[in-house]
């Protein structure tokens, strides 16, 4: 199992390089997901709430398979993205 520093480093790599290259701008991506989910279930969901809900998905997966490091990495990534979106921060 990786150390906490390795998990955080992997999450940083995932949200600033890997996922960005694959999925594009995180704020735009989470806003799009929020619009789709809002339309699908008839309840307004914000981009920040998408991050929380995705963290819930990873929590459920970690509950079932706590030794799978990707679950922990992704939880850190969703928290970082949600925090940045919620506070208007920008990763310099």
pLDDT at 26: 86
Q: What pLDDT is stored for residue 20 in this prediction?
A: 73
> Residue 16 domain-assigned?
yes
Q: Is residue 37 part of a domain?
A: yes
53 part of a folded domain = yes
Does residue 42 sit within a domain?
yes
Write down the residue that tokens 């850190």 correspond to. 76
Question: Do the beta carbons of residue 40 and residue 56 sit within 8 Å?
Answer: no
**Residue 91: pLDDT over 70:** no
**Residue 92 within a domain:** no
Torsion of CA 14, 26, 56, 1, to 10 degrees: 10
Which pLDDT does position 35 carry in this prediction?
A: 98
Q: State the Cα–Cα distance between residues 75 and 59, nearest whole angstrom.
A: 7
Its domain, for residue 29, covers 4-87
Give me the chain's average pLDDT, please: 91
Taking only the tens place, the pLDDT of each residue in 7-45 is: 999 999 988 887 777 887 888 999 999 999 999 999 999
- Sign of CA pseudo-dihedral 74, 85, 87, 45: negative
- Total structural domains within the chain: 1
Q: Half-sphere exposure of 35 toward its Cβ, with a 13 Å CA cutoff?
A: 5
């Amino acid at each position: 199992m990786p150390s906490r520093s390795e998990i955080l480093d992997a999450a940083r790599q995932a949200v600033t390089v890997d996922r960005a290259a694959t999925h594009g701008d995180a704020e735009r991506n989470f806003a799009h997901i929020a619009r789709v989910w809002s339309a699908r279930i008839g309840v307004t969901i914000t981009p920040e709430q998408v991050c929380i809900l995705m963290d819930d998905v990873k929590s459920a997966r970690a509950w079932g398979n706590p030794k799978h490091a990707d679950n922990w990495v992704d939880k850190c990534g969703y928290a970082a993205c949600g925090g940045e979106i919620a506070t208007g921060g920008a990763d310099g």
